[in-house]
Amino acid sequence: MNKKLITQICNEWKSNVWLAVELLIVSVVMWYICDYMYVRFANYFDNRGFDIEHCYLIEIDNLTEQSPYFVENQTYEMALADKEELLERLARRPEIEAAAYSNNSYPYNGSNSGISMVLDTMYTYGYVIRRSVTPDYMKVFRYEGANGETPEQLAEMIRRGEILTSEELLAHYGKNMKEFVGQEAFLDRDTVTHHRIGAAIKKVRYTDWQDWGMNQTIVLLLEDLNYGNECVVRVKDNMDKNFRENLMAVSGKELRVGNLYIRDVKSLADLRDNFQRSSTLAIRNYLTGMGFLMLNVFLGLLGAFWFRTQQRVKEIAIRKVSGATRRSVFMRFIGEGVLILSVVTLPAIALDFWIAKSGLNAWFNNEYLNWDRLLICAAVSYLIILIMIVVGIAIPANRAMKTEPAEALHDE
């Protein structure tokens, strides 16, 4: 059967060559579409390095002189004590699990502070985000250590004045920061003050859709609370309902300290949606375009095999007269399409490799070649095209099988 199939394909080489070229082009296009979608969704569902569920940003402001509650002649020390007191009051509330101050640090912020690090003769490369925080910040967002450290353990390291670094901070040297835990490093241009590396933490993602760019992080203690321009809290899982409304209702009496008052409460989930809105819309448009392109490829290839099978109604009739069963006819026609697809798959993968090696798909993943992803996407595109071929052959072939041989051969 296989020998006869190969012989028939070779005898009809003119039409099959054009079909093979079409399948080759479709395979490469389909791989590119699958690769794009794979990267986007793999990034989106990958570990972000933190957890914002049940987390809120508490916006704190100062009363103006027009307020009847304004406290005059406040000193720097008084303002500092007020910030400490407000944080303690928030942390004592029964619905709040953890509360912290930070400076340009909470996820999906967009307002960042940079920092650099020198370790032995190695330097950080690219933009590294400084996250100056109070210890319980690690509990609020549930950061995880690369060696399995818990948020509580990481908080204690911050309390001791140690720094935490994302594990890929020296990846350009082929190093993982887990190798340097316990060693001393210099920050920025200060070559006098040593900072002990308490732990390497899992990569802290800057956005959900990309896995490259501003993902490098150094977390260190916020020593002066007056520079804490953010207040973040984690609410207990079973006390999240109407948290904003309930907190704002009591904020005027219970949570006004000195000249400090709570202006607003915002969910981190809402902040994430607002921060990523333009990126989400752009990616949604790309995915819609890719989906439309995939649909056109599907219909085009489906039509090609449909037309090809329709042109062979007489051949099907002759096979039926010769005693061929419905199943054998189906397997013969589908086997022909599958064999041609399988033959062109290897050169298609070679072209996929060239595209990835050349970085023509690096604009959306910043990675030139990843064999696992390349082969997975090639396999997915193969299966999609295989489904197109089976559907494009099975439906018209089934209709042709219902035609009486005498009617199909009437003109012969």
What's the average model confidence in pLDDT over 227-254?
91
State which residues form the domain around 13. Answer: 2-46+277-408
Q: What is the pLDDT of residue 20?
A: 84
Q: For residue 23, what are the contacts with CB-CB under 8 A and spacing of at least 6? A: 301, 340, 341, 344, 385
Q: What is the pLDDT of residues 170-192, one digit of tens each?
A: 999 999 999 999 999 999 988 88
Verify that 104 and 6 share a domain, yes or no: no
Least confident of 48-62, 272-286, 308-322, 397-411: 397-411
Looking at residue 375, what is its pLDDT? 92
> 347 pLDDT exceeds 90?
yes
C-alpha distances (whole Å) from 289 to each of 106, 211, 284 are: 33, 22, 9
Q: Give mean pLDDT, residues 296-306.
A: 76
Do 194 and 309 reside in the same domain of the chain? no
Domain count of the fold of the chain: 2
Section 103-125 average pLDDT: 92
The pLDDT tens digits of the residues spanning 395-410 come to 776 666 655 555 545 5
249-257 average pLDDT score: 90
Residue 116 pLDDT level (bands cut at 50, 70, 90): very high
Residues 123 and 262 in one domain: yes
Q: Last residue of some domain: 242, 275, 308?
A: 275
Q: pTM for the complete prediction?
A: 0.81
| Residue 70, SS3 per DSSP | coil
Among 275, 309, 327, identify where a domain stops: 275
User: For residue 202, is pLDDT > 90?
Assistant: yes
| pLDDT of 55 over the 90 cut | yes
Dump pLDDT digits (tens) for 140-153: 999 999 999 999 99
More confident residue, 360 or 30: 30
Which has more confidence, 331 or 206?
Answer: 206
Q: How many CB atoms lie within 10 A of CB 273?
A: 12
Q: Are residues 271 and 375 in the same domain?
A: no
Least confident of 128-142, 304-318, 341-355: 304-318
CA torsion sign, 302 to 303 to 309 to 310?
positive
| Poorest-pLDDT segment among 27-36, 365-374, 392-401 | 392-401
Query: Do 258 and 126 lie in a common domain?
Result: yes
The residue with greater pLDDT, 130 or 339, is: 130
Mean pLDDT of 267-294: 88
The packing angle between helices 313-321 and 371-401, to 10°, is: 70
In this model, does residue 5 exceed pLDDT 70? Answer: no
pLDDT score, position 150: 96
Identify the three-state secondary structure at position 66. coil
* For the chain, percent of residues with pLDDT exceeding 70: 85
Question: How many C-beta atoms lie closer than 10 Å to residue 252's C-beta?
Answer: 11
**Amino acid at position 317, single letter:** A
Q: Which helix (H) or strand (E) holds 302?
A: helix 277-310
The count of C-alpha atoms lying within 13 angstroms of the C-alpha of 114, restricted to the half-sphere facing its C-beta, is 7
**Same domain, yes or no: 184 and 85:** yes
Q: Are residues 319 and 381 in the same domain?
A: yes
Q: Which of 265, 239, 272, 216 has its CA nearest to residue 51?
A: 272
Spatial CA neighbour of 312 closest among 20, 4, 15: 15
270 shares a domain with 281: no
In this structure, the answer to whether residues 256 and 294 fall within a common structural domain is: no
Asked whether residue 308 falls in the same domain as residue 334, the answer is yes
pLDDT for res 156: 97
Average pLDDT, the chain: 86
145 shares its domain with 287: no
DSSP state of 368: S
Give residue 1's pLDDT band: very low, low, confident or very high (50, 70, 90).
very low
pLDDT of residue 14: 60
**Nearest alpha carbon to residue 182 among 196, 192, 193:** 196
Burial of 389 (0-12, 13-18, 19+ CB in 10 A): buried
Q: Which of 243, 260, 275 represents a domain boundary (last residue)?
A: 275
Q: Which residue has the higher pLDDT, 361 or 411?
A: 361
Q: What is the pLDDT of residues 56-80, one digit of tens each?
A: 999 999 998 888 889 888 898 999 9
Q: Say yes or no: 192 and 110 in one domain.
A: yes
Q: Which amino acid is at 251?
A: S
